[in-house]
Chain A
Amino acid sequence: MSALFFILFAGLAVGCAISMVAQRNPLYGAISLIGVFISLACLYVTLAAPFIAAVQVIVYAGAIMVLVVFVIMLLNVEHEERQPMRLRALLPIAVGLAAILFAEAAFVIFFVQAPATTTRGADLSTGGACCLSDVGLTSSIGAGLFTTYLLPFEITSILLLMAVVGAMTLARSGGLLPARAGVIPGEQVLSKEMLDRSDAGNLTAVETQTTDEAARLLGVNQRRSDEQE
């Protein structure tokens, strides 16, 4: 039974992975990747790790890929521009990595012995196993996180918190100047990027007449109106 499920979901995962690499349309690639994640989650369930499976679906399929799909949808990139010659130099490295991967798989198949115990069913109604490991279960993961691995867990939390704060800061900053910077009408020296996005990197002088105009060019007016509200 479990072999049947393994073949089904492993096949699905491999198929979706191939499709992800082969698709020219980025959105199809993203959908294929979602398929890979969900098949992997199903594999985790058959390996008696339901918590990991649920987290896999919630975090990867439900959160990260939604962002990817969002970006693809908003940028509206229908078809990837063909640039076949660009990554030619990476070809030998790719072949080498693939060889290592296959060697690893072969090593596992031929030299690693299967453990004596069988896998425990994830389903409570069929389970009732007394002496098998409970590694994948929620309680054991929780106990591990809050006792043995407390420090790494907290460090990871702080890292995530910093990422959240960083994202907020980046998203909220309206321009290069702080919101309270005084803006004087007159001659402004601006990077040309502010005026014309396609031509970045050059500095140019621009004459402005009013404070509002100068503020707009410097990208601070958005935050001013925010503060006035």
Chain B
Amino acid sequence: MDDLLHVVWVLIGILVAFTVVMTMVAYTVLAERRVLGFIQGRLGPNRVGPGGFLQPLADLLKFIFKEDIVPDKSTRFVYFLAPVIATTAALMTIVVYPFGPEIHLPIINKTIPLVITRFDVALLYVLGVTSVGVYGIALAGWSSNNKYSLMGGLRSSAQMISYELALGLALIGVILQSGTLDLYSIVEQQAGHLGISGWNLLWAQPIGFVIYLIAAIAETNRVPFDLPEAETELVAGFHTEYSAMKFALFFLAEYVNMFTVSMLATTLFLGGWNGPFVHQLPLLGVFYFFGKVILFLFLYIWLRGTLPRFRFDQLMSFGWKFLVPVAIINIVLTATLQWSGAFDWLINLLHLKTATGWWG
């Protein structure tokens, strides 16, 4: 009975998180189009609903009713499987992110932490699921039986594999620091004065944060690393031959990936749901969390409106010859400081992590 109740709770949690994330992803697309419009001196979509507010709904309807064209010479099964893998892998990581601290539900009188499941190896789980996501793109490129698609798929897989390395190495600094792979504990450790001074970004992992951010943008195939779908060279890259809802699934996967990568950055470097007055008002944590995520999403859009695209060899040499060595140096540095007790000394000196007083 207890078991069953737990499962029901988890399912409710998944449903809520899924709905919230999907809604936010839909509006990220809208926000991207509006902000890009603003950057480029035009309006962007503003016709459907007040200020274009219902545009995501209209887009969805359009995707559903479009003709679904399957290329004649495609490998049918793999062609259908690829978007499913991409979307599933993108969505699966949502279950480990802590959206907020423990909150008290008033009517049923129950205190629950706002995380779907706490997992001993949550961070590794995220990395593992992300690495499976590569198949979606690689198989899509191959099964379409189109040279542009194949090139896009190959580029994308090579890029994702290369930058996954830098990404993982950047995370090791945080792991060394916190001594756990459980995301909820990592967030809890980052509480400090006003819930700000304990952030990993500020005093412990600035290098790791920058590497993570760059690698994450490359990992999600976004500008300036959007070579897999460089439209001037490859038409649309791996999803050239995909139309209607199957294209929408790839589109969705890309934006969900952006979202989850932003959530991971928030969790590991920006203190997750920590912020001023969270201890007095736990529900505030959820707003802090999503506020920080939106900050990252805005950064993505801003970059897209600002930067030109890399060349492929520049991309590769940047990843392997710059990011990976710097990440390794960061690990050595973190390990040394951690081992010599310098971090602890700093914490005690500045009272960084002692959450005391009225602000705590």
- Residues 29-72 of chain A, each 1 if its beta carbon lies under 8 Å from chain B, else 0: 00100100010010000000011011101100111001001100
Tell me whether B139 and A57 are in contact (CB under 8 A).
no
Chain A interface, number of residues (Cβ within 8 angstroms): 30
Known: A31-B78, A58-B128. 20 other contacts (CB 8 A): A27-B75, A27-B78, A27-B142, A50-B119, A51-B121, A54-B125, A57-B128, A57-B132, A58-B124, A61-B128, A63-B161, A66-B161, A122-B119, A123-B118, A123-B119, A124-B182, A125-B6, A137-B120, A138-B120, A138-B121
Q: Which residues of A contact B (CB under 8 A)?
A: 1, 25, 27-28, 31, 34, 38, 41, 50-51, 53-55, 57-58, 61-63, 66, 69-70, 73-74, 122-126, 137-138
Tell me whether A54 and B6 are in contact (CB under 8 A).
no
- Residues 131-145 of chain B, each 1 if its beta carbon lies under 8 Å from chain A, else 0: 110110011011000
How far does the Cβ of B316 sit from chain A's closest Cβ, in whole Å?
13
Tell me whether B77 and A28 are in contact (CB under 8 A).
yes
Contact of A54 among B77, B117, B128 (CB under 8 A): B128
Contacts of B118 in A (CB 8 A): 123-125
Contacts of A50 in B (CB 8 A): 119-121, 125
With A50-B120, A51-B120, A126-B6 given, is the CB distance from A70 to B78 under 8 Å?
Answer: no
A61: nearest residue on chain B (CB-CB)?
B132
Contact of A58 among B127, B135, B154 (CB under 8 A): B127
B286 at the interface (CB under 8 A from A): no
Q: How far is the CA of A25 from the CA of B143 in the complex (A)?
A: 13
Residue among A27, A58, A74 with most chain B CB within 10 A: A58
The 10 A-B pairs at the shortest CB distance, nearest first, are namely A62-B131, A54-B124, A57-B128, A124-B118, A58-B128, A73-B142, A54-B121, A50-B121, A50-B120, A54-B128
B211 at the interface (CB under 8 A from A): no
B129 at the interface (CB under 8 A from A): yes
Q: How far is the CA of A124 from the CA of B81 in the complex (A)?
A: 33
A34: nearest residue on chain B (CB-CB)?
B135
How far does the Cβ of B156 sit from chain A's closest Cβ, in whole Å?
12
